[in-house]
């Protein structure tokens, strides 16, 4: 394995209650790369995101997932987070009673461990990230995702992405439900988090976020398999032609 | 009516279904009134820096007892604690328009086999006050009766923390709210092996607002039974009850609510919610909210209850943010209890309560 491979998935098969969802995924993401994964509803995109994060509902029936050369499937979800995997949820959970400010501070401490900033530096980082995402300071006193609008939830996910500084960011339909301004803000955050040391997997229905975040690779998923891979142009082609022609090719 | 004249309540009664009188009585002959020690009480500002201006503790006069002993004439808990206190009471008096700069902390330390305190609350008109009452001590049994009047247009946050040791606690409140009074009453509990609390609020003056919040941590073999009764007698009165109990070990928690809107309480708006978080398979929680509405012209009147374990999706979300199984669980328990804690008082009061909750959780979970 070359040193700059962040994520390597080989022949991944996943089921939920004996129903196969993923049917042999192969994917490799190297440092500095941004991959976009597109597909219709129910094609298995979110399943892949959840499996990467270790959601207990899904059963891996075959294949391997390596993260920085380690077997990711042997790790608990929090171990994956601490190792450098981040999932931006399509529908982030509300936790009434858990204050955003405290949650962020503790989460950064847990994930970045010895490299976590001290109190003063954390405040500086937090202020910078919030300013980048146009997030008001009053946000810190609210409860995690409790009563947040759709746009606020997505901004909060990206705020965590910026603060946690993962090696692999998996963004599950982070662009869904955003207006133009929010989309640009979120895209700015994604770009700011992408470095030469990290990789990014953007799961999306639409090409429009890719106007703001340039992917190095685009993959099309149908029925739990990646059926086509290409460059940024492939997203435009799918946007123009839909998925039918790929389904036909796949058949 | 004296204690000796009252009959032992029937278990069929809503109030006595889960903790019958003989289980919360200190023991011995149920008809006897045993000898009780007093409780040691002290009053100071939350930060300890100043005497709370306009707030005093005094021995109750006959006039105080007559005027402030509201509710409970035929209630066995009320009359039993009065009998234990042998007709003596202490008044916490807040002057008209008093506005202490700091929250006020009233410590009640219960010692000996049996401790009892009859506390009268005399909150003056237009007073603004945050009162934290902390019940502590290693008494085998303690009875705390609080009765009083929160005056017209006062603005009061009244929080009672049960931090008793292993003993049993019988708590009874009878509070009347004045016209346009804005009152928040909080109950925070993580003490006493057995606790029976009967908290009654009467809104017989127009325009009163009452919010009752509970944040109860029940551990090991604890038995926590809270009954909250809110009576709307006057028009344009508003009440909300939000009660959160986290139940671990083999503990049992009970929350019963009685919301009464009497004829004539036009424009009343009332609601009550009980939430129980079950942290072990042996923990048990019962919530019974009840409504009695005798007025047609009400803004709203609703109730609800929800029991459940820690939410799997919330757990997964926190785990993906770097928290281990235990850390995520503890955070969710703290968040669950904090959700009601946060509405009990100002930021300073909330921080004080949150520190207590954090210490309790760290020690007990």
pLDDT 10s digits, A27-56: 999 999 999 999 998 999 999 999 999 999
Nearest CB to B322; choose among A55, A92, A111: A111
Nearest CB to A160; choose among B321, B328, B342: B321
Q: Which of A57, A77, A144 to mutate to test the interface with B (most CBs of B within 10 A)?
A: A77
The whole-number pLDDT of residue B49 equals: 73
> Under an 8 A CB cutoff, do B324 and A78 touch?
yes
pLDDT bucket at B203, cuts 50 / 70 / 90: very high
Contact B283, B251 (CB under 8 A): yes
Residues of chain B with C-beta less than 8 angstroms from the C-beta of A92: 317
Nearest CB to B336; choose among A81, A87, A97: A97
d(CA B186, CA B2): 30
Q: Which of B321, B333, B335 to mutate to test the interface with A (most CBs of A within 10 A)?
A: B321
- What is the rounded average pLDDT for all residues in chain A? 93
Query: pTM for this one?
Result: 0.92
Nearest CB to B335; choose among A54, A76, A98: A98
Closest CA to A169 of A139, A149, A189, A143: A189
pLDDT bucket at B364, cuts 50 / 70 / 90: low
Q: What tens digit of pLDDT does each residue of B287-298 get?
A: 999 999 999 999
In angstroms, the Cα distances linking B78 to A85, B1, B5, B84 are: 59, 10, 13, 10
The residues in A 61-80 lying below 8 A from B, measured between CB atoms, are: 76-78, 80
- Six-digit token string for B213: 């919040």
Sign for the pseudo-dihedral over CA of A54, A55, A58, A59:
positive
Residues of chain A with C-beta less than 8 angstroms from the C-beta of B314: 93, 95
Angle at B226 between CA B220 and CA B228, to 5 degrees: 160
Q: What is the DSSP string of B125-183?
A: TT-EEEEEEEEE---SEEEEEEEEEE-TT-EEEEEEEE---SSEEEEEEEEEE-TT-EE
Residue A132: which CATH number?
3.40.50.300
- What is the rounded average pLDDT for all residues in chain B? 94
Closest CA to B117 of B131, B98, B133: B133
Q: Where are the beta strands (DSSP E) in A129-235?
A: 143-144, 168-172, 199-204, 217-222, 225-230
Contact A140, A100 (CB under 8 A): yes
Nearest CB to A78; choose among B311, B319, B342: B319
Residues of chain A with C-beta less than 8 angstroms from the C-beta of B325: 76, 78
Nearest CB to A96; choose among B316, B322, B339: B339
Does the CB of A174 have a partner CB in chain B at under 8 Å? no
The whole-number pLDDT of residue B32 equals: 87
Task: Using an 8 Å CB-CB cutoff, list residues of chain B that contact chain A.
Answer: 311-314, 316-325, 327-328, 331-332, 334-339, 341-342
**Range of the structural domain that residue A52 is part of:** 5-250
| In chain B, where the domains are located | 3-309
> Under an 8 A CB cutoff, do A76 and B319 touch?
yes
The whole-number pLDDT of residue B167 equals: 95
> Under an 8 A CB cutoff, do A98 and B338 touch?
yes
pLDDT string in tens for chain A (251-residue length): 456 999 999 999 999 998 999 999 999 999 999 999 999 989 999 999 999 999 999 999 999 999 999 999 999 999 999 999 999 999 999 999 999 999 999 999 999 999 999 999 999 999 999 999 989 999 999 999 999 999 899 999 999 999 999 999 999 999 887 888 888 888 988 998 889 999 999 999 888 888 899 999 999 999 999 999 999 999 999 988 888 888 777 76
Considering its fold, how many domains does chain A have in total?
1
Does the CB of A93 have a partner CB in chain B at under 8 Å? yes
């Amino acid at each position: 394995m070359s040193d700059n491979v962040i994520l390597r998935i080989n022949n991944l098969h996943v089921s939920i209650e004996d129903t196969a969802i993923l049917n042999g995924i192969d994917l490799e993401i190297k440092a500095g790369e941004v991959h976009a994964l597109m597909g219709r509803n129910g094609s298995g995109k979110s399943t892949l995101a959840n499996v990467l994060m270790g959601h207990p509902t899904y059963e891996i029936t075959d294949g391997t997932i390596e993260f920085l050369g380690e077997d990711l499937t042997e790790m608990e979800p929090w171990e994956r987070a601490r190792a450098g995997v981040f999932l931006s949820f399509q529908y982030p959970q509300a936790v009434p009673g858990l204050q955003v400010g405290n949650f962020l501070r503790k989460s950064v401490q847990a994930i970045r461990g010895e490299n976590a900033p001290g109190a003063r530096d954390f405040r500086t980082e937090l202020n910078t990230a919030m300013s980048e995402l146009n997030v008001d300071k009053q946000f810190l006193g609210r409860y995690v995702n409790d009563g947040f609008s759709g746009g606020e939830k997505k901004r909060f996910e990206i705020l965590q992405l910026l603060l946690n500084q993962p090696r692999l960011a998996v963004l599950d339909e982070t662009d869904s439900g955003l207006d133009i301004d929010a989309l640009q803000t979120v895209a700015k955050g994604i770009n700011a988090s992408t470095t030469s040391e990290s990789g990014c997997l953007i799961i999306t229905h639409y090409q429009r976020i890719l106007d703001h975040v340039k992917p190095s690779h685009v993959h099309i998923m149908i029925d739990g398999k990646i059926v086509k891979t290409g460059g940024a142009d492939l997203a435009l082609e799918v946007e123009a032609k839909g998925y039918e022609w790929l389904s036909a090719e796949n058949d | 009516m004296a204690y000796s004249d009252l009959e032992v309540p029937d278990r069929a009664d809503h109030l006595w279904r889960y903790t019958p009188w003989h289980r919360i009585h200190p023991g011995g002959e149920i008809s006897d009134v045993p000898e009780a020690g007093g409780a040691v009480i002290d009053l100071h500002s939350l930060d300890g820096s100043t005497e709370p201006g306009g707030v005093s503790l005094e021995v109750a006069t006959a006039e105080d007892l007559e005027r402030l002993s509201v509710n409970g004439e035929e209630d066995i808990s009320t009359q039993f604690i009065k009998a234990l206190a042998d007709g003596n009471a202490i008044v916490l008096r807040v002057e008209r328009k008093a506005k202490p700069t700091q929250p006020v902390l009233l410590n009640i330390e219960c010692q000996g086999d049996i401790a009892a305190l009859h506390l009268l609350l005399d909150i003056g008109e237009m007073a603004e006050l945050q009162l934290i009452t902390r019940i502590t001590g290693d008494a085998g049994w303690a009875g705390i009766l609080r009765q009083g009047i929160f005056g017209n247009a006062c603005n009061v946050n009244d929080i009672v923390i049960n931090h008793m040791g292993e003993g049993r606690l019988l708590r009874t409140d009878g509070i009347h709210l004045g016209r346009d009074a804005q009152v928040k009453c909080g109950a925070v509990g993580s003490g006493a092996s057995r606790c029976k609390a009967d908290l009654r609020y009467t809104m017989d003056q127009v325009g009163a607002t009452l919010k009752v919040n509970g944040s109860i941590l029940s551990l090991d073999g604890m038995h926590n039974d809270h009954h909250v009764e809110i009576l709307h007698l006057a028009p344009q009165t508003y009440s909300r009850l939000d009660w959160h109990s986290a139940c671990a070990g083999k503990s049992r928690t009970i929350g019963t609510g009685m919301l009464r809107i009497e004829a004539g309480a036009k424009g009343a708006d009332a609601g009550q919610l009980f939430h129980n978080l079950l942290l072990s398979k042996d923990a048990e929680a019962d919530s019974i909210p009840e409504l009695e509405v005798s007025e047609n012209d009400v803004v709203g009147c609703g109730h609800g209850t929800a029991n459940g374990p820690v939410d799997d999706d919330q757990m997964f979300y926190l785990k993906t943010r770097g928290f281990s199984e235990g850390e995520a669980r503890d955070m969710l328990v703290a968040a669950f209890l904090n959700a009601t804690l946060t509405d009990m008082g100002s930021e300073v009061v909330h921080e004080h309560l949150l520190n207590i909750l954090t210490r309790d959780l760290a020690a007990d979970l």
